[in-house]
Structure 1
Amino acid sequence: MKNVVLIPLKYLLGLLGILLISCAPVLFSPGQLFDIRLFFQTCWQVLTDLLRPAEWQLNYRVPGTFDMVDVSFSHYLSGPYLYSMPILIAALLFALLLSYGLAMLVMLSKGRTKPIILQSTKVLESFPDFSYIFLIQIAVVQIYAVTGYLVLDFYSLGGDLVYLAPILCLSVLPTLLFFKLFVLLFEAEWKQPYVDLAKGKGLGNTEVLLKHCTSNVLKSLFYQSKSIVWLTISSLLIIEHLFGIEGILYYLRSDFTPKGITFILVTVFTPFFLFYAFVELMINKERIERNAVFGKFSLHFLDVTQLRSLISSIFRRERKETTKIFPKLRSVFLSRLKITIPSLIVLGLFFISLFYFLFFDDQVGQTQYLYADDGTMLSSAPHPPSAELPFGTDPYGYSIFQQLLVGIKYTIAITFIIATVRIAAGYIFGFIYVFYLNNRIRKAVTSIADGMHFLPLSLLVFILLVPVLINHGDWTTTLTERLAIQILIMSLIVLPITMSSIGNEMNETLKKEYVQSSVLMGGSLIWILVKHINPQLWPKLVLNWTQHVVQVLQMFVHLGILSIFVGGAASQDGAGRLIPEIYELSGMIAISREAFVTQQFWMILPPIFVFMLLIYCFNTIAEGLTQKKPVSVPVKKEKAVNAQKPVETGIARFTRLKERNDIG
């Protein structure tokens, strides 16, 4: 009964978070930067509109014109909302069924089939999600060229609704993620004793997987599916944009006001929140709470004697490890190639781009027209790849190869900074979450974190960055200020999730018996943190850091498609699109829709490949971090020497004993 009462409270907390995020863009309005008073006035106005059904309407921009008309909220729900949501739900269900079938196939396969499928999955997972649209389109075009039959329609024009192509494209990424999760859960269940018991009774592998393992796996799959749903909702927005679907994203960009943003986000949040809340209620999910030991004992923050011991141990460890640093690095390099090789690839790309800046000052050539030797014009921009232009040019004639050389360092550096700030802020606030917040506040934070899994992250960042990074006049902020604000927004938008996740990892360490013994013996808070929590938490923080790097790279792709570039972009007279302030990979993705329609794929394939290579490298690093290093058992020398002695036969031993008795 208590959990039933908590559901409305958690829902209200989720609505409060949506309200604050929807009104946050006014904090970055030109000339009114960080105006807290205006922010709360806007929140109050939106809240009063929510309580008046007469104000439930959106502004709709007629396609191809600048005309704006009012659309009732009921029309939005019955029209674009019921167009987008079935695509999302159908893609998730199709991904779930397909991934389950593939996981069963892998578990029942023998020989090299399993590793080949798993390796192929890791490669496919490295593709940015929207790139599957181009792969599927190329396949459809080839089928049409051979058979004359158009398998799929790829664009929504003149009110025609397309379903099959968006569902297939949207389902690729969740299929890969569900498949990976199914395999991990099945492998864990396959080691349980009941599996051996079932086999002993004569059940086959297929029957054990279907009747026993599947039912045990579904519960864990349900809890971990939130992150997959979270990523799929973000991908839906990109699918809508590339297919020309007038769905949720189109209406949000038409009515980019705090009230319109709030209404649309509430419609996305509500169905998923209710589904997960009531299913969790049915299966009685147990929350992770703080260890009871720390509720009874008040820990002092710092002890001088323990501080001296910590400092002296740090210096002793540094002196000891300094003499062994090079042998240790060599050992790590040789034994953990799965980590070192992709790390060297990423660092190599970064330094190549950095050297291009140092020696060529980030020059990007422009070629508007190509001429033959006799002076006749061969082609105008965009130019396809050729000997003079290895990767071709963009629509304005700028070399794609040189843009890559300039932009790689910015993408890698800013991605690293955002991922690092996320983990550092999550660690600091996770520490506060565990040791200084009471149960009610921690439950509120956990509820907000759970609610954020049902809001598209790319859309939230898009909402907050539009007033900061898009300019239609003179800039009121410097490039450094815009970069700082962008890093801050993209880092702190996931703070409730990272704080809750890292805090729960800390809490698991606090439940260890040796930690409780340290508390009873007078250990201070800093002593427990440094000596007990950090050694257990550090590998998981590094793993989380690599996962955040991949997430930020995917987010840059989404934002680039929506014309949100690193450092900002300005509109210029005569330019058909926004012009980025700096050359960066996400800015090269912005023309993906034009390339999608005109079949000029060379303009976006190079940046897609770089993104894919970076994502693949960090996925490989994360996989290497999760694999346990095999422990080698040393062989004692005595045993080795004894093994070399000749074995005394029974007859020889009997003769030797008889001779001894005769002498005696």
Structure 2
Amino acid sequence: MRLIRLSTYYLLGMVSIFCVSIFPQYFSTRGTPESTGYFAQLFSFGKDLMIPESWVYKFERSQTGGAPMMEIMGPAFIYSMQILLGALLVGFSIALLLALGSAFLPKIVLSPIKRLLDVLESVPDLILATLLQVLSIMIFKSFGVDLFRVASFTEKAYFAPIVTLAILPLVSMFKILLLMIEEEFLKVYVTFVKSKGIDKFNILIRHILKNIMPLSFHHIKIIIWGTLSSQFIIERVFNVHGLTFYLLDNFKPITIFVTLGLIFTPFYFLFQLIDLWLKEDPPLSYETRRSSWWRKWRMGNMVEATKRFFENILYSLQSINIRKISPFRPLISALFTFCRHMKNWKFALGALFFIVTISYSIFYSVTTDNHVDQVRLYYSEDGVKLLSAMPHAPTKPFFFGSDKLGFSLFDQLVIGAKYTLIFALLIALLRVLGGLLFGVIYAFHLGPRTQQWIGKLIDSIHFLPLSLVAYILLAPILMPAFTGFGYEFTYTFTERILLEMFILTILVVPLTSVLLGKEIKRVLDYEFIASARVLGGSRFHLFWRHIFPHIGARLTILLGTQFIQVLLIFIHLGIFKFFFGGTKLDFDPMGADPPMSITHEWSGLIGELGRTTIASGRYWYLWILAAFMLAIFAMQLIIQGVKEVQQVKVGVLYKLPKAQNIKAKNTSELPSYQVTKDSFKVIGNEADRTLDPNVDKKVDRKIKPKFKRGFERGM
């Protein structure tokens, strides 16, 4: 049975890859006279896959018939996997050693290490690659040693891409292991083992490390998913001739299908086998299997089961009391929550960055009509002496320098801030809202068997690089196509923005749906939910009054993480000259300008970066990466602030209040404690009560009247 399920999930994954592979061809040919429908192109592509002669790789600039597909893609896949596995092995090994060594450090040393990990985790992979290239150039100029060689057709590069790619899994895994080891040391069995006289090293190796490995497996899948997207960029930066190179050189449906299939297959079977080894799927009870939607489907009652499923959703929608839903109530609640969080300095600092940056960008655009200063040649005051030519270095004529065409970098960063930050926040918000909507359906209307089936199916998305899939889907939308009379966009500016937002949202909604669905299920198991159900609360009442306030902080944290992920995708697409809203190309034969962003958003400046740019000494281009870093770091502060406010709310103090020195006004008023014969008495003895018959009256007089009246009323 497990083998059948394993094969079914794999086939469904390959079908999804098959459907995605045809999207670039469909979007690029849509609207042309020879275009056909999506399903017609999908059917034609399916027939071609059945013909062995169609599995041919054709080079873009070659006039020959091409070569067999696997003769080209096979070695490229092995080369890419060598880099990926080498980076994962190096990163995880160093992270494990550092985590084990950090367990013996005092807390005063661990605190700055955790803060450093938070900062490093917020640094994008492109920034790390750029900084390592800067370091390599400085070493080469000083000592003549080139550490990071760029690959070519004749020789392969391993050291530079492996070291750069290993930083992300190293930092993420080190942080996760450090937190899990700290939590494990607080458990009861560790205290029991310590009482037997076993030293800390043996406890760490024999017990703690063994217990945290199954839990760390879930984090490893997320880390590998992010590393796969990073490899897509690292191979481009270091000119690695792996899967990325050959995919971009021949961007055809067959090449896309083979590339995604080669990435999906080994990781899918590897993690499924580990799941079987760890026994992640507990057997369901007989009652659950008997009442499950899947059993009804197998018995031939698919129509009835589907009808009942939608009837339950319709009943839940009818139970919503529109009158009790005020449009102003969520806004007022959100405003009060925002004001309460602004008392936390981390949340306030991060929120003020977005408010000030977006406001200034809008104000600048309104007052200057998106004007960008340009100086091609900068002369002295006499107009004779040439001081600099484009690109201009800081500080003259522009304080932050200019790009290759002489446009001010600061003006472009200010104008593009509103597009980058607002649309990244909007896409992240749509991901969370979409995940919340489908998460409610997942938690309330699906049985355990169906939830397990959907969870396993969506878990397969972790084996496809998100940036690579986004590139495949957005390539024909953001880049102008040749129409016979020139290069023109297939879609309008508004359509390009809406399609990009939809694609970047829909790629992650299945993952956020399962994540939030499991979170809602966890809250549904609480005792106060059972009490609300006994009192007659509907599903909508349970969600709106109890579950939503309970997971509100979780939604905010998820919004922040999705915002950071959207910015990383913007950076990755910017490397390939795919800019938000479209890429402006210049085909002037007298001197074509480089690709530019129509909206001046920040990823449009990412294409300016490169090894040759840094090697030529144009270090002011790093302002572009600094803008992304500030935005990511500001969101990290917001996430940390929400966590701290939530910890205080549930009673977990993250910062102890400072002790205040209280001085007496007069030292003579301090009581003198001297031992006398009356110093030792038995409290509550009847003999003491007879010494003072009015003791009950004295105690009763100290009770506040309102509490006394309440107590008497309760009697």
TM-score normalised by structure 1 residue count: 0.88
Shift in alpha-carbon separation, 1:359–1:222, aligned structure 2, 3 A: same
Q: Partners in 2 of 1:487 and 1:123 — Cα distance? A: 28
Aligned to 2:711: none
Aligned to 2:708: none
Task: For residue 235 of structure 1, give the secondary structure of its aligned residue in structure 2.
Answer: helix
Task: For residue 217 of structure 1, give the secondary structure of its aligned residue in structure 2.
Answer: helix
Shift in alpha-carbon separation, 1:471–1:66, aligned structure 2, 3 A: farther
Tell me by how many angstroms 1:329 deviates: 6.2
Aligned to 2:470: 461
Shift in alpha-carbon separation, 1:655–1:25, aligned structure 2, 3 A: closer
Aligned to 1:624: 641
Tell me by how many angstroms 1:518 deviates: 3.7
Tell me by how many angstroms 1:424 deviates: 0.9
More deviation, 589-598/530-539: 589-598
Q: Partners in 2 of 1:14 and 1:655 — Cα distance? A: 80
**1:548-563 → structure 2 map (5 Å cutoff):** 548-563=562-577
Aligned to 1:43: 42
Aligned to 1:21: 20
Aligned to 1:571: 585
* Residue pair 2:150, 2:239 contacting (<8 A) in 1 also: yes
| In the alignment, structure 1 residue 586 sits paired with structure 2 residue 582 | no
Aligned to 1:10: 9
* Residue pair 1:385, 1:602 contacting (<8 A) in 2 also: no
Q: Partners in 2 of 1:501 and 1:179 — Cα distance? A: 23
More deviation, 269-278/200-209: 200-209
Aligned to 2:230: 235
Aligned to 1:638: none
Task: For residue 195 of structure 1, give the secondary structure of its aligned residue in structure 2.
Answer: helix
Shift in alpha-carbon separation, 1:163–1:191, aligned structure 2, 3 A: same
Tell me by how many angstroms 1:646 deviates: 8.4
* Residue pair 1:299, 1:524 contacting (<8 A) in 2 also: no
More deviation, 532-541/277-286: 532-541
| In the alignment, structure 1 residue 207 sits paired with structure 2 residue 202 | yes
**1:587-602 → structure 2 map (5 Å cutoff):** 587-593=604-610, 595-596=612-613, 598-602=615-619
Aligned to 2:677: 651
Which of 342, 353, 357 matches 2:350? 342
Which of 505, 530, 544 matches 1:491? 505
Q: Partners in 1 of 2:689 and 2:456 — Cα distance? A: 86
Tell me by how many angstroms 1:374 deviates: 5.4
Residue deviations 1:166-188, cap 9 Å, x none?
00001111111111111121122
Q: Partners in 2 of 1:266 and 1:318 — Cα distance? A: 45
Aligned to 2:416: 407
Unaligned runs of 5+ in 1: 634-643
**1:253-652 → structure 2 map (5 Å cutoff):** 253-286=248-281, 332-334=341-343, 336-372=344-380, 373=382, 375-437=384-446, 442-472=451-481, 473-574=487-588, 575-593=592-610, 595-596=612-613, 598-602=615-619, 604-627=621-644, 628-629=647-648, 631=651, 651-652=677-678
More deviation, 523-532/464-473: 523-532
* Residue pair 2:477, 2:489 contacting (<8 A) in 1 also: no
Determine which structure has more spread, i.e. the larger CA radius of gyration: 2
Shift in alpha-carbon separation, 1:545–1:303, aligned structure 2, 3 A: closer
Task: For residue 651 of structure 1, give the secondary structure of its aligned residue in structure 2.
Answer: coil
Which of 156, 160, 165 matches 2:155? 160
Task: For residue 604 of structure 1, give the secondary structure of its aligned residue in structure 2.
Answer: helix
Task: For residue 22 of structure 2, give the secondary structure of its aligned residue in structure 1.
Answer: helix
Shift in alpha-carbon separation, 1:329–1:223, aligned structure 2, 3 A: closer
2:421 is aligned with what amino acid? Answer: I
Aligned to 1:637: none
Shift in alpha-carbon separation, 1:55–1:113, aligned structure 2, 3 A: same
More deviation, 462-471/352-361: 352-361
**1:163-182 → structure 2 map (5 Å cutoff):** 163-182=158-177
Aligned to 1:636: none
Residue deviations 1:583-640, cap 9 Å, x none?
010000012226556444435311100101111111222223233116399xxxxxxx
Aligned to 2:78: 82
* Residue pair 1:595, 1:601 contacting (<8 A) in 2 also: no
* Residue pair 2:153, 2:241 contacting (<8 A) in 1 also: no
More deviation, 478-487/373-382: 373-382
2:203 is aligned with what amino acid? Answer: V
Q: Partners in 2 of 1:304 and 1:432 — Cα distance? A: 11
Residue deviations 1:300-351, cap 9 Å, x none?
966999866x9569799899x89x977x8665433x2221211111221111
Percent of residue pairs identical = 28
* Residue pair 2:394, 2:620 contacting (<8 A) in 1 also: no
Task: For residue 103 of structure 1, give the secondary structure of its aligned residue in structure 2.
Answer: helix
* Residue pair 2:288, 2:449 contacting (<8 A) in 1 also: no
Task: For residue 170 of structure 2, give the secondary structure of its aligned residue in structure 1.
Answer: helix
* Residue pair 1:95, 1:174 contacting (<8 A) in 2 also: yes
Tell me by how many angstroms 1:371 deviates: 2.2
Residue deviations 1:442-466, cap 9 Å, x none?
4443233111101110010111111
Task: For residue 379 of structure 1, give the secondary structure of its aligned residue in structure 2.
Answer: strand
| In the alignment, structure 1 residue 101 sits paired with structure 2 residue 97 | yes
2:361 is aligned with what amino acid? Answer: S
TM-score normalised by structure 2 residue count: 0.82
Measured on the aligned residues, the alpha-carbon RMSD in Å equals 3.5
* Residue pair 1:18, 1:265 contacting (<8 A) in 2 also: yes
Q: Partners in 2 of 1:238 and 1:443 — Cα distance? A: 34
Task: For residue 270 of structure 1, give the secondary structure of its aligned residue in structure 2.
Answer: helix
Q: Partners in 1 of 2:236 and 2:479 — Cα distance? A: 18
Task: For residue 463 of structure 2, give the secondary structure of its aligned residue in structure 1.
Answer: coil
Aligned to 1:639: none
Q: Partners in 1 of 2:362 and 2:681 — Cα distance? A: 82
Q: Partners in 2 of 1:624 and 1:292 — Cα distance? A: 41
